[in-house]
Amino acid sequence: MRSRGMSLLLAAVAVGVILPGSSGPARAGAGEAGQAGKGQARKGQAGAGKAPQAAPGSAAQKAPADAPAVARALAAADRQLKRRRWKQAEAAYRKVLAQDGDHPAARYGLAVALIHQKKTAEAIAALQELGRSSRPDAPPWRVEARLGKHFESLRADPAFRRAVGIDPDPARPPTAYERLVGQGGTWEQAGMPCQEPQVTLSLDRKKKKFSLVIRTRCQGMDDRTRLGGTWAAAGTDRLALTFPNQGGPDERLECSLAPDGGEDALTCALEDLSFTMRVVRR
């Protein structure tokens, strides 16, 4: 059985499309989709009190392959960083890297500890090592360095920009994760009344959850449907949105990134309907 979220998505997207041979928008189910979407949004709000996942920079987000000794060392380093003991944190992260020389979380933490000691060249060098890492958990730390507050003073520095992916590096194409959330994680299709809906997709990089808002306007009608679920990036150009389904297996909406006019376009297709969004720059 199709999930509630996927059914609402089909209905909401179809509402804004003028079907061949018709004189107006396909309104069937519009009110139901809007009201049910509001109900789903309320359910999401009811679950807002649940504990969030660990944020980047914490030992709880360590790579699954971490040995217990490395995990303990990383937790100790994180504690020093949280207490703003920059010199002690630097030493602690170096101990982690002595055990695992390509540990993305430790590279990021070391760079934070260094920049707060005004060791700018060493901090950038640590981020460059992070930029060269091929570990699957490295892209989130590169994005965190790009968007977080610790490195605001370096945002005009060419070496920093190249290390964290603000400026392209021909030797390292960006991953899908970096392309999707590297500029904040909000994507939008502007929409046209009676032709196509306005679609806004927000990707939460820390909780790995998404919010999808579809707004349809035509001939005095103005409906909004809000959906949510989890998201995952894959490779260099793929995004999967997963809709929870209480009546059966969760359903996925597959989306793809492609260059278009000097920037990325994100297209999601569902049956014979699709929508294409552009990044909303911070």
Binning pLDDT at 50, 70 and 90, where does residue 195 land? confident
**134 & 236 share domain:** no
Task: Give the count of domains, the chain.
Answer: 2
pTM over 0.85: no
Write the CB contacts of 71 (distance below 8 Å, at least 6 apart in sequence). Answer: 59, 62
50, burial (CB in 10 Å: exposed 0-12, middle 13-18, buried 19+): exposed
Residue type, 112: V
Above pLDDT 90, what percent of the chain? 65
pLDDT number for residue 224: 93
Domain boundary among 117, 146, 174: 174
pLDDT number for residue 238: 98
- Whether the per-residue pLDDT at 179 is higher than 90: the answer is yes
Q: Assess if residue 261 is contained within a domain.
A: yes
Q: What is the pLDDT of residues 94-120, one digit of tens each?
A: 999 999 999 999 999 999 999 999 999
Binning pLDDT at 50, 70 and 90, where does residue 262 land? confident
Task: Please tell me the distance from the alpha carbon of residue 40 to that of residue 60, in angstroms, as a whole number.
Answer: 30
Which range is least confidently modeled, 45-49, 99-103, 259-263?
Answer: 45-49
Q: Give the up-direction half-sphere exposure of residue 168: CA atoms within 13 A in the CB hemisphere.
A: 7
- Whether the per-residue pLDDT at 45 is higher than 90: the answer is no
Binning pLDDT at 50, 70 and 90, where does residue 56 land? low
Q: Assess if residue 53 is contained within a domain.
A: no
**103 & 132 share domain:** yes
pLDDT number for residue 194: 87
pLDDT number for residue 32: 35
Q: Evaluate whether 59 touches 73 at the Cβ level (below 8 Å).
A: no
248, burial (CB in 10 Å: exposed 0-12, middle 13-18, buried 19+): exposed
**76 & 168 share domain:** yes
* Owning domain of residue 109: 59-174
Domain boundary among 115, 149, 174: 174
**187 & 275 share domain:** yes
Q: Assess if residue 49 is contained within a domain.
A: no
